[in-house]
Amino acid sequence: MRSHPIRAGVVLLLLAMSVGCAKDEGPLFVPKPVDPELPAVTVHFSTEVLPIFTEHCWVCHPPMGNGMDLSAENAYTELVNVTSVNWGPAVRVAPGDPDASVLWHKVNYSPDFGLGMPPSGTALSNAELETIRVWIEQGALNN
């Protein structure tokens, strides 16, 4: 005699459940595969980018500089995806795209973006520029 298909299904289900409960393990942790297209994050805003602003920029931002506040508390929200006062609709920092970021042109003294930054005193070193460029390229994270 063939067993009823539904009854066989129930038996299988119960069997599967009892096997599943046999071991007292937590939920299986399946790590998300890392997207190989994503660049590894190597630059951190709080420990590498922010100190550059504190040392070279904060003296004028605020209170000068179009009201842009580059203090530790406000620099991130004042920069990323914020429309530039003088070069809108361009934004100050476009995540992933230094060339679309007014900040990047300013610190490189690009002739089409008015005053280079800082406008007086010592320009940023190549290492500092590299840090800012890579930070923007890696998505301008608040990390």
In the complex, what is the shortest distance from the CB of residue 127 to ligand HEC, in angstroms, rounded to a whole number? 13
Backbone angles phi, psi at 80, to 5 degrees: -75, 120
Closer to ligand HEC by CB, 118 or 139: give it.
118
Distance CA 72, CA 98 (A): 21
Interaction site with ligand HEC (CB under 6 A): 53, 56-57, 59-61, 64-66, 68, 84-87, 92, 102-103, 106-107, 114-115, 117-120, 124
Determine how many CB atoms are found less than 10 A away from the CB of residue 106.
20
Q: For ligand HEC, which is the closer residue by CB, 15 or 115?
A: 115
- In the bound state with ligand HEC, the residue whose beta carbon lies nearer, of 42 and 55, is 55
Read off the tokens for 129. 């520029």
Measured from the CB atom, the residue of 87 and 134 that comes closer to ligand HEC is 87
Residues 6+ away with beta carbon under 8 Å from 58: 70, 71
- Least Å distance, CB 47 to ligand HEC, is 17
Question: Is residue 92 a contact partner of residue 82, using CB atoms and an 8 Å limit?
Answer: yes
CB of 107 to ligand HEC, least distance (A): 5
Residue with tokens 């060339």: 99
What is the distance, to the nearest Å, from the Cα of residue 133 to the centroid of all Cα atoms in its chain?
12
Least separation in angstroms between CB 46 and ligand HEC: 16
